[in-house]
């Protein structure tokens, strides 16, 4: 309270009002901006954002403890901490809803939410009792930072362990990457327990698309943006539409930028999104094989238990077979041989992959893979010529 002018004879009601208006205003702007830019990622990375919200909340409280020492910067600090807490409110509330949905295995979200609220109330009650004991034990201003550090460490450790204990059975991109990393080289699907144990919960860490297949994969891309970024022409799109006519997605490769754009038809299902990502990964691996680019999945030795040829091995065989029977395409923007080899391999391997992950207990009726909102329509393009 001292940090915001309480007890200061020089402080005026007008200055206090301006401070609170600026503080609340920046918080509102921060809430809106964060929801706009990161809202679509909160479902897919709910573990990471849940832990991030806890860390950010503790950082905001730590900054507020500095207010008495930096009273001349109180307005700036309050604006920053309010913005941080606004982000915490959005990220924490959204991820709580996603986690509650996961925990409501009997479609009893109201029951789970009520019990979660009761647990939080009990924890807050215990915290209030501990606060009273601390106030009665220590003098004002004594051991403030020591106590704050101790309780912050306990809080973050408890929340870290809580996030680690979550066992999600729906696929997000991080879990799908870990699944494919194992499956493509061994023909064996890992269980949700194994994948969740290996999934990182720290924002900005973990295996990415380029680590797996050498390309960044963008799902739900706009065809207009795809044509601008990848420099493909309308004729190229017609050719690709003809090639992917039986699929609910279309893949455009930007070999220079190492990006792969996957555009979906309207009304795609969760299985179509999983297949689109599976197909894009295999196509990226095929291009890396033809260009002799090193990849982790290519350098891993096959497991002794995987005497049956794995998907990557089948892809390599298809590439060799098609390379000897097809001339090199003059269209440098479309890697024809890798596309044909990948399409043949995916048609054989993807049904087996789906069956394997279902047996392990994965839910393929829904997904948490981040997909942009753009949808395309191209099924009549190949009939226009």
Distance of alpha carbon 337 from the chain centroid: 32
Q: What is the pLDDT of residue 306?
A: 47
pTM, to two decimals = 0.87
- At residue 14 the predicted structure's pLDDT band, cuts being 50, 70 and 90, is low
Mark whether 225 and 331 lie in a shared domain: yes
Q: What is the pLDDT of residue 307?
A: 45
Segment among 8-17, 115-124, 184-193 with least mean pLDDT? 8-17
Residue scoring higher pLDDT (143 or 201): 201
CA 237 – CA 333 distance, rounded (Å): 11
- At residue 315 the predicted structure's pLDDT band, cuts being 50, 70 and 90, is very high
Q: What is the pLDDT of residue 329?
A: 53
What is the separation, in whole angstroms, between the first and last Cα of the chain?
74
Percent of the chain topping pLDDT 70: 90
pLDDT at 323 over 70: yes
Q: What is the pLDDT of residue 70?
A: 86
- At residue 102 the predicted structure's pLDDT band, cuts being 50, 70 and 90, is confident
Mind listing the pLDDT tens digit for each residue in 191-216? 999 999 999 999 989 999 999 999 99
The mean pLDDT of 316-334, rounded to a whole number, is 73
Mark whether 19 and 124 lie in a shared domain: yes
The mean pLDDT of 356-385, rounded to a whole number, is 84
Mark whether 304 and 206 lie in a shared domain: yes
Q: What is the pLDDT of residue 301?
A: 56
Indicate the residue among 133, 164, 195 that finishes a domain: 164
Mark whether 134 and 220 lie in a shared domain: no
Indicate the residue among 164, 191, 208 that finishes a domain: 164
Q: Is 249 helix (H, G, I), strand (E, B) or coil?
A: strand
Mark whether 151 and 210 lie in a shared domain: no
Mark whether 372 and 320 lie in a shared domain: yes
CA 250 – CA 273 distance, rounded (Å): 11
Mark whether 294 and 379 lie in a shared domain: yes
pLDDT at 385 over 80: no
Q: What is the pLDDT of residue 2?
A: 47
Segment among 53-67, 70-84, 313-327, 331-345 with least mean pLDDT? 313-327
CA 316 – CA 184 distance, rounded (Å): 12
- At residue 226 the predicted structure's pLDDT band, cuts being 50, 70 and 90, is confident
Mark whether 139 and 184 lie in a shared domain: no
The mean pLDDT of 42-51, rounded to a whole number, is 93
Cite the DSSP H helix spans in the chain.
13-38, 46-65, 74-103, 109-137, 144-164, 173-186, 192-198, 209-213, 223-230, 234-243, 270-290, 296-299, 311-325, 336-359
Range of the domain at 31: 2-164
- At residue 3 the predicted structure's pLDDT band, cuts being 50, 70 and 90, is very low
As given in the structure block, the two tokens for residue 11 are 């402080």
Domain count, the chain: 2
Mark whether 107 and 9 lie in a shared domain: yes
Indicate the residue among 125, 142, 164 that finishes a domain: 164
Mark whether 192 and 297 lie in a shared domain: yes
Find tokens 């981040």 and name the residue.
370
CA 230 – CA 226 distance, rounded (Å): 6
Mind listing the pLDDT tens digit for each residue in 288-303? 999 988 888 887 655 5
Mark whether 313 and 374 lie in a shared domain: yes
Mark whether 111 and 186 lie in a shared domain: no
The DSSP-derived string for 123-163 is HHHHHHHHHHHHHHHS-TTTTHHHHHHHHHHHHHHHHHHHH
């Amino acid at each position: 309270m001292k940090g915001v002018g309480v007890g200061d004879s020089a402080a005026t009601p007008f200055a206090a009002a301006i401070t609170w208006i600026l503080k609340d205003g920046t918080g509102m702007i921060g809430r809106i901006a964060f929801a706009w830019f990161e809202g679509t990622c909160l479902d897919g990375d709910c573990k990471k954002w849940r832990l991030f919200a806890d860390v950010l909340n503790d950082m905001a409280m730590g900054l507020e403890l500095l207010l008495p020492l930096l009273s001349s910067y109180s307005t700036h600090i309050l604006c920053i901490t309010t913005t941080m807490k606004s982000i915490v409110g959005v990220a924490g509330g959204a991820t709580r809803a996603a986690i509650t949905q996961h925990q409501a295995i009997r479609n009893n979200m109201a029951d789970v939410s009520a019990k979660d609220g009761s647990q939080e109330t009990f924890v807050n009650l215990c915290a209030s009792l501990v606060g009273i004991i601390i106030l009665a034990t220590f003098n004002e201003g004594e051991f403030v930072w020591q106590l704050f550090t101790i309780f912050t460490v306990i809080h973050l450790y408890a929340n870290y362990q809580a996030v680690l204990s979550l066992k999600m059975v729906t696929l997000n991109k991080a879990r799908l990457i870990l699944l494919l990393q194992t499956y493509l080289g061994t023909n064996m699907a890992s269980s949700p327990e194994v994948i969740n144990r290996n999934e990182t919960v720290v924002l900005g860490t973990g295996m990415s698309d380029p680590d797996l297949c050498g390309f960044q994969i963008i799902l739900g891309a706009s065809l207009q943006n795809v044509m601008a970024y990848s420099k493909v022409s309308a004729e190229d799109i017609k050719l690709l539409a003809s090639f992917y006519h039986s699929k609910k997605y279309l893949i455009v490769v930007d070999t220079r930028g190492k990006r792969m754009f996957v555009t979906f038809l309207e009304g795609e299902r969760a299985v179509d999104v999983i297949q689109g990502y599976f197909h894009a990964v295999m196509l990226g691996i095929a291009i890396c094989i033809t260009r002799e680019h090193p990849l982790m999945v290519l350098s891993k030795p096959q497991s002794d238990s995987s005497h049956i040829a794995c998907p990557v091995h089948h892809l390599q065989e298809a590439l060799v077979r098609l390379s000897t029977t097809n001339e090199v395409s003059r269209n440098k923007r479309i890697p024809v041989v890798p596309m044909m080899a990948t399409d043949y391999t995916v048609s054989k391997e993807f049904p087996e992959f789906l069956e394997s992950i279902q047996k392990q207990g994965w839910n393929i009726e829904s997904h948490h893979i981040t997909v942009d909102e753009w949808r395309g329509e191209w099924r009549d393009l190949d009939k226009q010529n």
